Amino acid sequence: MGVVRRLSWGTRGILAAALAMMAGTQAHAIDGGTAAGGDALAQAAVGIGTITKPEDALRLTRCSGILVAPDLVLTAAHCVNGDPLGALVVFFKGTNPVSPVYAARVAARYSPDPGEMLPNAAPDVSLADLSVDLAVLRLTEPVRGRKPVLLASDPSRVPKHLRFAGAGLSRTGVGRLRTASLTPVAATSTGLTIARVDGGQVCFGDSGGPVVATDRRGTYVWGVASAVLTRTAPCGRYVIVAPAAQVFTATGLR
């Protein structure tokens, strides 16, 4: 399938971070897919900017995530590597980022067990090469007017149909929320999933973006985008999904 690449990307400067978070340009994240609307996924999806200072230079890492409790956001752990100086979280109205911007801190990081690849699922993919990580950010204040999305409770039952949301880098820019359908093509015994993006590609900055499914009880978070399988960065058609159910319950942290 190609090279495994993490999806986050960096740029310098706090001012650049603020401008990128609230940009009013016609940029978007996922190549293809559809513009976000007003459903449960779009209402709970977020853009995340974390500021670090490696080697005396400020750097912003842009990622995506989802609200899973009034004051908790789920994302990928590599989005918050390097002991960030601070983190900002922004919600969307449709495709557009909106005020207020929330401050956040890292509450927990996880490295889920990748498990064993199911027979004949993806013979050309090595589990040792896959990036699988999760993190929780705690907001400085609870969010009102946004409904958190519940988490999957059984990592062994991979849904047949998934949806993804991201607000990262695409070939045309950065900062707009888009969604795409995913089709699972391989899975492991612990719920790690490799999925194909239908009619589009995921890109740098979509890392940590929520992957959800829907059943008779409603929408729930299956996991987050942890990496992309691609030979041609910054985008790719296959995404690695870190399973949320492995380290969470539907009511909070384990």
Structural domains counted in the chain? 1
Which DSSP letter does residue 147 get?
P
Domain with 226 in it: what CATH number? Answer: 2.40.10.120
Q: Which range of residues forms the domain containing residue 129? A: 3-253
Band of residue 212 on the pLDDT scale cut at 50, 70, 90: very high
For 28-34, what is the mean pLDDT? 67
Which DSSP letter does residue 145 get?
S
Bigger pLDDT: 26 vs 137: 137
Band of residue 58 on the pLDDT scale cut at 50, 70, 90: low
The closest of 99, 96, 86, 94 to 37, measured between CA atoms, is 94
pLDDT of amino acid 253: 54
Half-sphere exposure (Cβ direction) of 174: Cα atoms closer than 13 Å: 26
- List, for residues 74-98, the tens digit of each pLDDT value: 999 988 887 777 788 999 999 888 8
Which DSSP letter does residue 7 get?
-
pTM: 0.83
